[in-house]
Amino acid sequence: MSAPPSRTDAVPALAADDLSVSFGPKTALAGVTLSIPRGRVVSIIGPSASGKTTLLRAFNRLNELTPGAVTTGAVRFNGIDLHGGEVDPVEVRRRIGMVFQQATVFPRSVFDNVAFGPRASGYGGDLHELAEEALTAAGLWSEVAEDLDAPALALSSGQQQRLCIARTLALKPEVLLLDEPTSALDPAATARIESSIHALKRDHTIVLATHGRRQAARLSDLTAYLAGGELVEYGPTETLFTNPRDPRTESYLTGRIP
């Protein structure tokens, strides 16, 4: 008897398999293996230069844009090897959205920012409807609905970051990669972004790289601790925070490692 067809839920949304990335002589990730279950929020925590950003960027093939980047091992999206010959990086980036540490709004109108991705992919539907949906999901709609033609650079930095989230959501990605999205923001703006992330949990798999230990604890189901490019510990957030297995995790969580 053949095995019953595996439920798609059993296949992780994203998986890294012995993933190493180096830039010239510098190793950024060394043999990381972990899987991101569908529909969960996973935090990647760790000190500066621990490889958080590189791991996120490996998930939608952004590392290859950096000259001298060498990637070994595999990254799988719904079980498909992202570096397989027939995989188009453009399609990968449409389905796995990324929000950067610094808000990277385009110096155009709010609407043009949200419509950028859908226009690039030749979206045939109503762009205004899509923009409203994406801006609402990012928790920005009520603040910009009055004037969608206003220049995006006129928004506050917190609003700009939510606009970047909306812009990514407009592509209806399955996975959201958030690279320290609140590190440049004040507490009030951070709180708004966190409530947006909270609302997005329902429909998305989210990978959140963060410096904020408490942010990871507040938002995520699972947490991975990276140090020096290696995955030290990975597990349910509550377990990892209350009862870390590895002494390095514990010293990071107690603040002995900055």
Partner 1 sequence: MTVARLPGAGAASHGLADRLAGPVLLACTVAAAGTLVALAGVLGVEAGRFFAQVSPVRFFTEADWTPFAEEPRFGVLPLLAATAQITAGAGVFGVPAGLMTAVYLEHYAGARTERALTAVTALLAGVPTVVYGCFALDFVTPALRSLWPGTEAFNALSACLVVGLMIVPTVVLLSRAALKSVPAQLMEAGLALGASRGRVVARVLVPAALGGIVAAVFLALARAVGETMIVTLAAGNQAQPTWSPLEGLRTLTAFIAQSGPGGAPSGSLQYGAVFAASAVLLAFSWGLHAAGMFLVSRRRRGGAR
Which residue's CB is nearer to partner 1, number 1 or number 65?
Answer: 65
Residue 147 binds to partner 1 (criterion: CB under 8 A): no
Residue 183 binds to partner 1 (criterion: CB under 8 A): no
- What does the alpha-carbon distance between residue 79 and residue 35 come to, in Å, rounded to a whole number? 10
Residue 151 binds to partner 1 (criterion: CB under 8 A): yes
- Which range touches partner 1 (CB under 8 A), out of 4-12, 98-106, 202-210, 213-221? 98-106
Which residue's CB is nearer to partner 1, number 4 or number 67?
Answer: 67
Residue 80 binds to partner 1 (criterion: CB under 8 A): no
Instruction: Tell me, letter by letter, the H, E, C secondary structure of 85-98.
Output: CCCCHHHHHHHEEE
User: How many other C-beta atoms lie within 10 A of the C-beta of residue 193?
Assistant: 21
Residue 154 binds to partner 1 (criterion: CB under 8 A): yes
Which residue's CB is nearer to partner 1, number 60 or number 196?
Answer: 60
- Contact criterion met (CB below 8 Å) for 210 and 30: no
- What does the alpha-carbon distance between residue 34 and residue 18 come to, in Å, rounded to a whole number? 9
- Which range touches partner 1 (CB under 8 A), out of 9-17, 143-151, 184-192, 206-214? 143-151
Q: Residue 100 corresponds to which tokens in the numbers above?
A: 């950067």
- What does the alpha-carbon distance between residue 136 and residue 147 come to, in Å, rounded to a whole number? 15
In the set 108, 198, 211, 218, which binds partner 1 (CB under 8 A)?
108
Which residue's CB is nearer to partner 1, number 113 or number 210?
Answer: 113
* Residue 7: φ, ψ to 5°: -65, 145
Nearest distance, CB of residue 225 and partner 1, angstroms: 25
What type of residue is 181? P
Residue 253 binds to partner 1 (criterion: CB under 8 A): no
Residue 206 binds to partner 1 (criterion: CB under 8 A): no
Q: First vs last Cα of the chain: how many Å apart? A: 54
Specify the residue for token string 């949304």: 13
Nearest distance, CB of residue 31 and partner 1, angstroms: 26
